[in-house]
Amino acid sequence: MKVSRILTIFTALTVLLLAACGTDTSNTEENKTTIKVGTSPGPYSELFLDVVAPILEDEGYEIETTDFTELLQADIALDEGSIDLNVDQHTAYFENFNNEKNANLTKITPIPTVPTGIFPGRKDSLDDIEEGDVIGIPKDPSNAARAYALLEKAELITIEDDVDLVQLTQSNIVENKYNLDIQEMDSAQIPRALEDLDYGVIPGSIVYSSGLDASTSLLHEDILKDLELVAVVDEKNKDTDWAKAVKEAYQSDEFKAYLDEHNQDDYWFIPEEIR
């Protein structure tokens, strides 16, 4: 066989192979049926796996999970494309990640959120508060801000006017009427330290993981829009069929029925969009 004939056949096969690859859309973001979810220990991933994942599986999707102990690592994986979805963060967190890492994460729907609350330590009522009482609050910036906003709601401190509540710090306190000893500490340590605190401000995910009874909260926060939990994807994927399916699952009658049955004590704050 002449060399020119061989080259012609080789070229034709190459063109056919490339054409076949070009028309295979089974692995594109728009058409894929496997959703890779970055999960973390806590109520939000568990709610997804227990309720949302079965809804998606009934629609033909396969759910693959990768566990993360740090939310930062989950967002790095989202940005790099090794996972598709995360349901363990709020808008303020992923927007801060975007700013720091030049990333393009975005939300596709708000999801139920467990509010931060003031929990009893050595005292079991806010009516018993006295001069110099010790209150433990989270030290990480977003949860510390929530704690200071909650302490103001309880009328224990006064915050200066015109401050973004999502960015509150101790420096924004203009009055501490009981001279409270507000101790910033690791969130996970607060439940274990309650016997040495008069009160503890504890985020919902920590309430869950520590086994605290959420109904013992003395007062819970009014959740700001930027602190509602959200389902997060890379912006390039927000209009894919699978992302729309996730959003629709959270808004489905089946999901609402589950919450109606399991949220009798108002453990979950449910955003307006999915009520």
pLDDT digits (tens, 9 = 90+) for 156-202: 999 999 999 888 999 999 999 999 999 999 999 999 999 999 999 99
Closest CA relative to residue 174, chosen from 160, 162, 161: 160
pLDDT, residue 214, reads: 87
pLDDT, residue 109, reads: 98
The answer to whether 248 and 239 have CB atoms below 8 angstroms apart is no
Facing residues of 253 across strands? none
Strand order in the sheet with 62-67: 62-67, 34-39, 85-90, 229-234, 105-110
Terminal-to-terminal C-alpha distance of the chain: 72
CA angle 116, 119, 134 (to 5 degrees): 110
pLDDT, residue 49, reads: 98
Domain map (residue ranges) of the chain: 34-113+226-274, 117-222
Reported as a single tens digit per residue, the pLDDT across 91-103 is 989 999 999 999 9
Mean of per-residue pLDDT scores for the chain:
90
Average pLDDT over residues 6-29: 47
pLDDT, residue 128, reads: 97
Q: Is the pLDDT of residue 115 over 80?
A: yes
Q: Is the pLDDT of residue 23 over 90?
A: no
Q: Between 3.40.190.10, 3.30.70.890, 3.90.180.10, 3.20.20.110, what CATH number should domain 117-222 receive?
A: 3.40.190.10
Reported as a single tens digit per residue, the pLDDT across 256-272 is 999 999 987 788 999 99
pLDDT, residue 28, reads: 65
Q: Do domains 34-113+226-274 and 117-222 have the same CATH topology?
A: yes
- CATH architecture of the domain 34-113+226-274 equals 3-Layer(aba) Sandwich (3.40)
This prediction's pTM: 0.81
Distance between CA 75 and CA 63 in Å, rounded? 18
Q: Is the pLDDT of residue 228 over 70?
A: yes
With bands split at pLDDT 50, 70 and 90, how would you rate the model's confidence at 29? low
